[in-house]
Amino acid sequence: MPILRLLSETETLALPPRAAPVAARCDVLVIGGGPAGMGAALGAAWAGADVILTERQAFLGGNPTVALVNPLMSWHTQRKPPAAADMTRLLPQDHGEGDPIVAGALQHVLDRLLAAGGALPPTVETGYTVPFDPETYKSVALEVLDEAGVRILLHAFATDVCRRDGRPRGVIYESKSGPFVIQAGCIVDGSGDGDIAVKAGADFAIGRSEDGRVQPMTLMFRIGDFDPDAFAAYVRQNPDQWRGVHGLWDLIRQATESGELDLPREDILFFATPHPHELSVNSTRVTGMLGTSIFDVSRAEIEARRQMGQIMGFLRRRVPGFAHAYVIQAGTHIGVRETRRIVGDYTLTAEDVLGAAKFDDGIARASYPVDIHNPTGKGTVLKRLPPGAWYDVPLRCLLPRGVENLLVGGRCISGTHEAHSSYRVTPTAMATGQAAGVCAALAARQGLRTREVASEAIRTELRRQGAIL
């Protein structure tokens, strides 16, 4: 398929200078309506700030809704190593989870999702993950932000910063209405890619230290008309076909040998949803592409759709329970796991994660394993924290080195490739976003630089907002 590639990295044209209207002013301006952006907007608004949240898509949620990333991974410590966890809820469970270590904004959103019938609660049956309905999630996101008094603007692509006194004091947007500016006391970059932090002058790292390669992208999709009883009967008769959340080994091997399946993944991974006849499939894999290049992303979207077609054909033809299944919806945007990691005042490491490090300026707790989908092909590395353990994310990871008036939250905070693979999950992204929002609110309302806000003041406000610290 002919896909447009960049003609030249070096041949450029100067663009004409232009003016843009100031659309609004606020205390805290948040870029991105994903888990980090939602956490930041709620944290800042609950801390008393006048907040604007801007999002490039037509709806809020980030990866969980844009890329259909389901479920919310567990935010509980593990009491003991997990036995076979079955996300399809068709086999006995023994995930051995301990205590919750994230609450605050996440708990608020979860309570509303549950009340709306749009999620399953975290129990031993779901492996302490939370399967949710993405359309309900979109509505709940709007409702909770509206109730917190956050002003929302959709279809707004943030492209650059405006400076005053050398510091970022506003963000430039491109839109159908043309360019415009929003001015702010303090900015939180929840774009996942650190788009605006980089424009403000922040350094960043990409990928593995040895070769710069990042985790693969995955186009997730929802399947309807799945027959759980027929599938359960098949699994009961063929228990050796199902280990952990991965399975269908013989069927996949046969289909691969016959050329029916040609996938850079050795298994087919799917998750239960709140709807018994619906599954969420996380099995396409596109390597060697970067999510901040639309040229790469375009190629990745097309390749992932090819894989989705193969997977659906395979499931329908070969796997009991899928004969009438069909794709309800694929992600609006292919799921991007890893792009820029902004270099902050501290860089979190795998040793910090696996050694359950604690910090005086800890603003969020996390316990999800190091989980690296192979950047070059098949296989996934999974390294768990010890039973009962969690690590702290320090405030310094949210403060881009050498940049004032701007914080990052979510998957683009400061850490190594390995540490990122743990703190990137949705619950942790929302928690670091909430902390960034609180710091931004305290700075903007008291006229302080971000680094002048005492970490203990942020921790106190986060606790008041229900965070577990």
Ligand X SMILES: Cc1cc2nc3c(=O)[nH]c(=O)nc-3n(C[C@H](O)[C@H](O)[C@H](O)COP(=O)(O)OP(=O)(O)OC[C@H]3O[C@@H](n4cnc5c(N)ncnc54)[C@H](O)[C@@H]3O)c2cc1C
Q: At what angle do helices 104-115 and 426-446 cross, to 10 degrees?
A: 120
Neighbour-count burial of 12, counting CB atoms closer than 10 A to its CB (0-12 exposed, 13-18 middle, 19+ buried): exposed
Minimal distance, residue 230 CB to ligand X, in Å: 25
Cis peptide before 71 (omega within 30 of 0): yes
The C-alpha atoms of residue 318 and residue 129 are separated, in whole angstroms, by 28
Q: Residue 424, interface with ligand X (CB under 6 A)?
A: yes
3-state secondary structure of 196: helix
CB of 75 closer than 8 Å to CB of 367 = yes
* Number of Cβ atoms within 10 Å of the Cβ of 63: 24
What is the contact mask toward ligand X in residues 319 to 358, using x (rule: CB under 6 A)? ----------------xxx---------------------
Cβ-based nearer residue to ligand X, 198 or 252? 198
Tokens matching residue 80: 């003991």
Q: Which is nearer to ligand X, 72 or 148 (CB)?
A: 72
- Give the whole-angstrom CA distance, residue 225 versus residue 401: 50
- When binding is defined by CB under 6 A, the residue of 426, 434, 455, 465 that contacts ligand X is 426
Query: Which one among 41, 42, 63, 296 touches ligand X, defined by CB under 6 A?
Result: 63
CB of 314 to ligand X, least distance (A): 19
33 binds ligand X (CB under 6 A): yes
> Would you say 235 or 300 has its CB closer to ligand X?
300
Residue 383, φ and ψ in degrees, nearest 5: -125, 120
Under rule CB under 6 A, which residues in 141-170 are in contact with ligand X? 157-158
Separation of alpha carbons 239 and 253, rounded Å: 16
* Binding status of residue 134 toward ligand X by CB under 6 A: no
Rule CB under 6 A: say whether 436 interacts with ligand X: no
Residues near ligand X (CB under 6 A), total: 39
Q: How far is the CB of 258 from ligand X (least distance, A)?
A: 27
The verdict on 67 binding ligand X (CB under 6 A) reads yes
Q: Cβ(304)–Cβ(219) under 8 Å?
A: yes
Where do the DSSP E strands lie in 332-448? 340-342, 362-366, 370-373, 380-383, 391-394, 406-408
Tell me the closest approach of the beta carbon of residue 191 to ligand X, in angstroms: 3
The 10 Å Cβ neighbour count of residue 338 is 26
Q: Using an 8 Å Cβ cutoff, are 250 and 192 in contact? A: no
Identify which range of 2-10, 66-74, 94-102, 460-468 contacts ligand X by CB under 6 A: 66-74
> Shortest gap between Cβ of 200 and ligand X (angstroms)?
13
Least distance in Å: CB of 388 to ligand X?
21
Task: Compare residues 265 and 424 and give the one whose CB is closer to ligand X.
Answer: 424
Comparing CB distances to ligand X, the nearer of 218 and 455 is 218
Could you say whether residue 37 binds ligand X (CB under 6 A)?
A: yes
Residues that bind ligand X (CB under 6 A): 31-37, 54-57, 62-64, 66-67, 69, 71-73, 157-158, 190-193, 195, 218, 220, 282, 335-337, 410-411, 424-426, 429
